[in-house]
Amino acid sequence: MRRKKFSTQWKILLGAIAIFSIMSQCDRLRKIMDSGKQIVTHKQISEADEKAETKEGEVSETKNINVPNGLEIPAKLTDVSEQILVRKAYTVSYNKETKDPNWVAWRLTAEHTEGMVRRPKGAFHEDGEVPEPRATYYDYKKSGWSRGHMCPAGDNKWDEEAMYESFLFTNICPQDFSINSGAWGDVERKCRMWAREYGEVYIACGPIFYNKNQYETIGENKVAVPDAFFKVVLIMEGKPRAYGFICKNGGGKDKANKMPRTVDEVEKITGYDFFPQLPDDIEVAVESKLTD
């Protein structure tokens, strides 16, 4: 009799354990299903954010935009001489006819706006990677024109090699002293300010020749003297925006030399296609108007 009683109690205990196990599994399954509902809900919210329409002519913030490498590089040129030179801090499109760059482009980060590297001895030097005749120190000597940086030395204090390469003559153009220390320098400082504020900016700049078949030259190697200079700056942090500048090669501290323009205006003057790696809708929006 005791054995039979014990057997009945054991069955009751096993039954209770089985019921508890089933209840636990059901509860676990319910939690998994609830978790799945939350995941779907967050996904739907994310998709709704990505599909959210913006006002006409505006662009949403860049949190979902994949920014490609080399975003600062203009489209390939087809109507002028072009030799691409890749430096540590910038890229050059060099023109062997003018002995000037067509454009110089670089990505400027907040970290690269600071540094302790100083101007190298002998500073300016010719670039052995381009064919002769090419610009030299003697072309500029007593020419009446300053040696104007495209990618400025002030953007390259973070590294000795970058600083050294900023003084290659393939990064230099004959520039009026008054804008070298005036409007052009002011725009350079503004770019560094934006880089510190937004983390990074994408920049392209270079000379402008209004008459490509006739221009003043300096020195034995006939380095062309530009009529003006352009600079375009792209900011991708937050709502993408871009600014263009045209600085006459003279005119001192003329305010018009540092007034922002649309990138479209600069493209019409230069014939270059800037920021071609941007998605088409973003490129059109940021280049067609100025954003506060």
CA distance 87 to 60: 33
CA separation for the pair 175, 62 (Å, rounded): 37
Among candidate residues 42, 112, 125, 149, the one labeled active-site is 149
Report angle CA 275, 280, 285 to the nearest 5 degrees: 80
The token pair that represents 187 in the structure block? 């725009």
Question: Is beta strand 172-175 parallel, antiparallel or unpaired with respect to 146-149?
Answer: antiparallel
Strands 172-175 and 223-224: unpaired
Residue type for 106, please? W
The answer to whether the beta carbons of residues 266 and 243 sit under 8 Å apart is no
- Alpha helices by DSSP H, 87-131: none
Give the count of beta carbons closer than 10 Å to the beta carbon of residue 63.
Answer: 9
DSSP 8-class letter at 63: G
Task: Determine whether 42 is an active site residue.
Answer: no
Q: Which residues are catalytic?
A: 149
